[in-house]
Structure 1
Amino acid sequence: MTKIDDLWWEQEVENYYKLLERFTLFSTLISVLFWTLSLIYNFEYYSSPGWICVLVTGTFSSTIVKIFSTKRAKCKSLVLLSYSEVLNFLLSYIANFMKDDQSQLIETIAFLVVFSFQLTITQSKLLFNILLLKFMYVWYINDIFFEDEQTRIFYCCHMIFVIICFLNIIYSHSKDIACEKFSYRSELETSKNRLNTIKESFSDGIIILSQDITIEFFNPRALQLLSTSSENLIETLKSAHYIENRKASNFIPTNNLIDDISYLLNNTQQSEIILGVTLISSSNLEWRSIQIEWENRKAVFLTVRDVNHWIELEKKVACDQMKTLLLRSVSHELRTPLNSILHFTGDLISSSHTWSDQEVKKLMMISISGQQMLSLISDLLDYSQILIGVFSIHKNYCNLREIVQNVCDLFKFQAEKKNLYICYRIDPSLPEMIYTDHMRLSQVLLNLVSNAIKYTLEGKIEITCTLTTKNLMKCCVEDTGIGIEETAMKNTFRFMKTSNVPNLGPKGNGIGLYISNLLSRQLGNKSIKVQSNIGKGSAFYFKVDIFEESLPSEILYRIESNDSENVLPFRIGKFYSKKEERKDVLIVDDMEFNLEVLGSILKSGEVNYDEASNGKEAVEKVIEKDCVDKPYKLIVMDCEMPEMNGWEASRYINQLYRQGKIKYLPQIVGHSAYCSDDDIKLCYQSGMVEFLPKPCSPEKILSTLKKFYM
Structure 2
Amino acid sequence: MYPYFRTKLLAGKLKKKMTEIQELWWAQEIENLYKLLERFSVFSTALSFLFRFFCFFWYFEYFSHSSSITFPIASIFSVGVVKYFSNKSVKCKALVLLLYSETLNFLFRYEAKFIQEDQKQLLETIAFLVVLLFQLALVRNKLYFNILLLKYMYIWFVSDLFIRNEQDVSFYYCQLMIIIICFINVLHSHSLKISFERFISRNELETSKNRLNTIKESFSDGIIIISQDLKIQFYNPRVLQILATTPDNLFNTVSSAHYIENRKVSNFIPTNELIVDISYLLNNSEQNEIVLGITQIGLSNLEWRAMQIEWENLKAVFLTVRNVNHLIELEKKVACDQMKTLLLRSVSHELRTPLNSILHFTEDLIKGAKEWRGEEAKKLKMIYISGQQMLSLISDLLDYSQILIGVFSVHKTYCNLREIVQNVCELFKFQIEKKNLFVTYRIDPSLPDMIYTDHLRFSQILLNLLSNAIKYTLEGKIEITCILTSKNSMKCYIEDTGIGIEESAMKNMFRFMKTSNVPNLGPKGNGIGLYISNLLSRQLGNKSIKVKSSIGKGSVFYFKVDIFENFSPSEILDKIESNDNENILPISIPSNYIKKEEPKDVLIVDDTEFNLEILSSILTSGDVKYDEASNGKEAVEKVLNKDNADQPYKLIVMDCEMPEMNGWEASRYINQLYRQGKIKYLPHIVGYSAYCSDEDIKLCYQSGMVEFLPKPCSPDKILNTLKKFYMYKVILISKFSLNYQGLL
What's the TM-score, normalizing by structure 1? 0.91
Are the equivalent residues in 2 in contact too, given 1:576–1:605 (CA < 8 A)?
no
Tell me whether 1:423 sits opposite 2:440 in the alignment.
yes
1:594-641 CA deviation, whole Å, 9 max, x = no partner? 122122111111222222222222222222222222222211111122
Q: Quickly say closer, same or farther: Cα 1:160–1:246, change in 2 above 3 A.
A: same
**Residues in 2 aligned to 1:461 and 1:173: alpha-carbon distance in whole angstroms:** 96
Matched residue of 1:652: which SS?
A: helix
Distance 1:546 1:180 in 2: 71
Amino acid at match of 1:166: F
Greater alpha carbon shift after TM alignment, 283-292 vs 125-134: 125-134
Return the offset for 1:52: 4.8
Name 2:390's counterpart in structure 1.
373
Q: Distance in 1 between matches of 2:317 and 2:583?
A: 77
Aligned equivalents of 1:564 and 1:203: distance in 2?
59
Flag the 1:181–1:419 CA change in 2: closer, same or farther, 3 A: closer
Q: Partner of 2:181 in structure 1?
A: 164
Is residue 674 from structure 1 mapped to residue 674 from structure 2 by the alignment? Answer: no
Deviations 1:12-44 (A, max 9, x none): 221121122233345556778999999999x99
Cα distance in 2 for partners of 1:499, 1:40 equals 108
Farther off after superposition, 635-644 or 359-368: 635-644
Q: CA deviation at 1:499?
A: 1.6
Alignment of 1:219 onto 2:240: no
Taking the TM superposition and a 5 Å limit, the aligned residue runs for 1:272-421 are 272-421=289-438
Residues 575 and 197 (structure 1), Cα distance of their counterparts in 2 relative to 1, 3 Å cut: farther
In structure 1, give the amino acid aligned to 2:586.
L
In the other structure, the counterpart of 2:706 is 689
Once residues 158 and 564 of structure 2 are traced to their aligned partners in structure 1, the CA distance between those partners, rounded to angstroms, is 109
User: Letter of the aligned partner of 1:10 in structure 2?
Assistant: A
Query: Higher mean Cα deviation, 613-622 or 372-381?
Result: 613-622
Taking structure 1 as reference, are residues 165 and 323 closer, same or farther at Cα in structure 2, changes over 3 Å only?
same
Report if aligned partners of 1:635, 1:666 keep a CA contact under 8 Å in 2: yes
Residues of 2 paired with 1:418 and 1:658: CA distance?
Answer: 61
CA deviation map 1:84-105 (0-9, x unaligned): 3333334334445788664323
Q: 1:39/1:604 Cα in 2 relative to 1: closer, same or farther (>3 Å)?
A: farther
Deviation larger for 512-521 or 573-582:
573-582
Cα RMSD for the two superposed structures? 3.3
Residues of 2 paired with 1:9 and 1:428: CA distance? 84
Q: Is the 8 A contact 2:452 2:563 kept in 1?
A: yes
1:703 aligned residue? 720
Task: Tell me the secondary structure at the aligned position of residue 118 of structure 1.
Answer: helix
Range with greater deviation from structure 2 (680-689 or 55-64): 55-64
Extract unaligned runs of 5+ from structure 1: none
Distance 1:144 1:280, change over 3 A: farther
**AA matched with 2:478:** I
- Encode CA deviations 1:184-216: one digit per residue, 9 max, x unaligned: 222222222222222222222222222221222
**1:452–1:479: 8 Å Cα contact kept in structure 2?**
yes
Alpha-carbon distance between aligned partners in 1 of 2:440 and 2:306, rounded to the nearest angstrom: 71
Separation in 1 of the partners of 2:661 and 2:573? 41
Q: CA separation in 2, counterparts of 1:99 and 1:396?
A: 113
- Matched to 1:555, the amino acid is I
Q: Could you say which residue in structure 1 is the equivalent of 2:9?
A: none
Question: What SS does the aligned partner of 1:532 have?
Answer: strand
1:683 touches 1:691 (CA, 8 Å); kept in 2? yes
The answer as to 2:528 corresponding to 1:507 is: no
Map 1:131-150 → 2, pairs under 5 A: 131-140=148-157, 143=160, 149-150=166-167
Query: 1:688, CA displacement in angstroms?
Result: 0.7
Please state whether the residue corresponding to 1:494 is helix, strand or coil: coil
1:98–1:482 distance in 2 versus 1, CA, 3 Å? closer
User: Which residue matches 1:115?
Assistant: 132
The answer to whether the 8 Å contact 1:268/1:291 transfers is yes
Residue 5 to residue 372, structure 1, CA distance change in 2 (3 Å): closer
What is the distance in 2 between the residues matched to 1:275 and 1:517?
Answer: 45
**Total equivalences in the alignment:** 705
Note if contact 1:583-1:709 (Cα within 8 Å) is conserved in structure 2: no
Query: What is the letter of the counterpart of residue 377 of structure 2?
Result: V
Deviations 1:363-389 (A, max 9, x none): 111111000100111111112222222
- The whole-number CA distance in structure 2 between the counterparts of 1:2 and 1:564 is 77
Ranges in structure 2 where 5+ consecutive residues have no aligned partner: 1-17, 728-744
Answering whether residue 577 of structure 2 is matched by residue 556 of structure 1, we say: yes
Distance in 1 separating the partners of 2:268 and 2:454: 55
Q: Percent identity at matched positions? A: 73
CA distance in 2, matches of 1:575, 1:338: 32
Q: CA deviation at 1:480?
A: 2.4
C-alpha contact 2:97 2:134 (8 A) present in aligned 1: no
Q: Which amino acid aligns with 1:695?
A: P
Aligned to 2:482: 465
Structure 2 CA distance, aligned partners of 1:158 and 1:336? Answer: 116
Q: Distance in 2 between matches of 1:127 and 1:604?
A: 114
Residue 21 and residue 358 in structure 1: after superposition, are their counterparts in 2 closer, same or farther (change >3 A)?
same
- Is the Cα–Cα contact under 8 Å of residues 442 and 481 in structure 2 kept in the other structure? yes
| Residue in structure 2 matching 1:537, options 518, 533, 554 | 554
CA distance in 2 between partners of 1:660 and 1:558 (Å): 38
- Return the alpha-carbon distance in structure 2 between the equivalents of residues 244 and 682 of structure 1: 35
1:165 to 1:531, Cα distance in 2 relative to 1, 3 A: closer
Give the letter aligned to residue 235 of structure 2.
F
Q: Does 1:73 align with 2:90?
A: yes
Does the C-alpha gap of structure 1 residues 95 and 429 become closer, same or farther in structure 2, counting only changes over 3 Å?
closer
Compute the displacement of 1:323 (Å): 1.8
**For 1:572, what is the secondary structure of its paired residue?**
coil
The 5 Å alignment of 1:36-115 reads 52-96=69-113, 102-115=119-132
2:671 to 654, 659, 669: 654
Q: SS of the residue aligned with 1:587?
A: strand
Cα offset, 1:468, TM superposition: 3.9
Map of 2:13 onto structure 1:
none
Shift of 1:78: 2.6
Partner AA of 2:689 in structure 1: S
Q: Does 1:522 align with 2:539?
A: yes
Give the aligned residue type for 1:214.
K
The CA distance in 2 between the partners of 1:469 and 1:152, in whole Å, is 105
Q: What's 1:568 paired with?
A: 586
Letter aligned with residue 184 of structure 2: L
Counterpart in the other structure of 2:636: 619
Distance 2:80 2:291 in 1: 65
Q: Compared with structure 1, are the counterparts of its residues 186 and 527 closer, same or farther at alpha carbon in structure 2 (3 Å cutoff)?
A: closer
Q: Distance in 1 between matches of 2:38 and 2:441?
A: 99
Deviations 1:546-576 (A, max 9, x none): 33325487831689x9x999x936x721675
SS in structure 1 of the partner of residue 95 of structure 2:
helix
Q: Residue 346 of structure 2 aligns to which amino acid in structure 1?
A: S
Label 1:183 to 1:399 Cα distance change in 2 as closer, same or farther (>3 A).
closer
The answer (yes or no) to whether the contact 1:447–1:512 under 8 Å persists in 2 is yes
Return the alpha-carbon distance in structure 2 between the equivalents of residues 587 and 44 of structure 1. 136
Match in the other structure for 1:435: 452
- 2:467 & 2:491 partners in 1: Cα distance? 19
CA distance in 1, matches of 2:86, 2:116: 40
Q: Secondary structure at the match of 2:536?
A: helix
Output the CA distance in 1 between the equivalents of 2:468 and 2:678.
57
**CA displacement at 1:583 relative to structure 2:** 4.3
**Residue 529 (structure 1) shift:** 2.9
C-alpha distance in 2, partners of 1:46/1:505? 116
The separation in 2 between residues aligned to 1:241 and 1:688, in whole angstroms, is: 51
CA positional deviation for 1:282:
2.2
Alpha-carbon offset, residue 180 of structure 1: 2.1
Query: What do the CA deviations read for 1:327-373 (whole angstroms, capped 9, x no partner)?
Result: 22211211111111101111111222342222111111111100010
**Rounded Cα–Cα distance in structure 1 between residues aligned with 2:594 and 2:672:** 35
CA distance in 2, matches of 1:23, 1:167: 23
